[in-house]
Amino acid sequence: LEELGVSRDLAGRRVLVTAGPTVEPIDPVRYISNHSSGKTGYAIARAAARRGADVTLVSGPTALAAPEGVRTVHVKTACDMLAAAEEAFPAADVAVFSAAVADMRPKEPAARKLKKGEPGADLGTIELVENPDILASLGAAKRDGQVVVGFAAETENVVANARKKLATKRADLIVGNLVGEGRAFGTDDNEVWFVTADDVDELPLMSKERLADAILDRAVQFFG
Ligand code: CTP
Ligand code: CA
């Protein structure tokens, strides 16, 4: 494989990847979610497996096929994603939090479909509560030698916001990118910044496949 140009630099390493959106039920037929396609996270999981890692992919609902040779755990809500990520994190050498976790969820999902005009069913108001921050919660539990990678999806001030997220979530690397106006979500390529404690790198526009390898290249540098 080396001869074919496939690096096995993650052989013997465990990699955790979160990917896709989460969906937060309003009632049995409706939900709150976002436009994440899961493409970047799935590309990272595939690339890590190709490079020899033992990979756990914790994925919200996407239209993508579960990557071959990867342990894929399917979840729906942020709370379920947190539980699955917490289980895999302690053994992970590298954890990449690429999921677009819904920031809020309906406080009390209705057990029955909400109906127009029914007494007590106010379709104009949904009470929301904030979801747990999976990256921040596991970043706080990070032990020596673990490499934690997060993303920052921003509509402006990418680098400044990425720096804040690096610090508050205790990540080693934040991949900052611009979202909105046809950028990033669902597209096949992406323009990003790598923000670490010591420097900021603006990467050229590249496919999500190449970006996946670039992120892993940067992550393995932390192993020294
Ligand atoms: N993240 C997470 N759990 C959440 C929210 C975010 O694990 N509940 C992770 C994402 O996977 C990403 C990073 O945190 O790696 C940043 O996500 P982002 O949505 O950009 O930042 P937030 O902290 O949610 O802040 P905001 O959306 O308000 O900018
Ligand atoms: Ca968010």
From the CA of 85, give the closest atom in ligand 1: 7
Q: Are 107 and 127 in contact (CB under 8 A)?
A: yes
ipTM: 0.99
Q: Is 39 annotated as a binding residue?
A: no
Residues marked as catalytic: 34
Using left for φ > 0, alpha for ψ between -120 and 50, and beta otherwise, residue 40 falls in alpha
Residue 173 burial by Cβ neighbours in a 10 Å radius (0-12, 13-18, 19+): buried
Say how many Å lie between the CA of residue 152 and the centre of ligand 2.
8
From the CA of 98, give the closest atom in ligand 1: 11
Say how many Å lie between the CA of residue 51 and the centre of ligand 2.
30
Residue type at 125?
T
Q: Are 102 and 18 in contact (CB under 8 A)?
A: no
The contacts of residue 54 (CB under 8 Å, 6+ apart) are 13, 14, 15, 71
Is any ligand 1 atom within 6 A of the Cβ of residue 103?
A: yes
The pTM is what? 0.95
Is any ligand 1 atom within 6 A of the Cβ of residue 134?
A: yes
Nearest CA to ligand 1 atom 12: 151
Please report, in tens digits, the pLDDT of each residue of the chain (224 residues total): 556 667 899 999 999 999 999 999 999 999 999 999 999 999 999 999 999 999 999 999 999 999 999 999 999 999 999 999 999 999 999 999 999 999 999 999 999 999 988 877 788 899 999 999 999 999 999 999 999 999 999 989 999 999 999 999 999 999 999 887 656 666 776 779 999 999 999 999 999 999 999 999 999 999 98
Round to whole Å and give the CA distance between 148 and 172: 5
Q: Are 194 and 218 in contact (CB under 8 A)?
A: yes
Least distant ligand from the CA of 130: 1
Round to whole Å and give the CA distance between 39 and 208: 7
Beta-carbon count within 10 A of 141 CB: 13
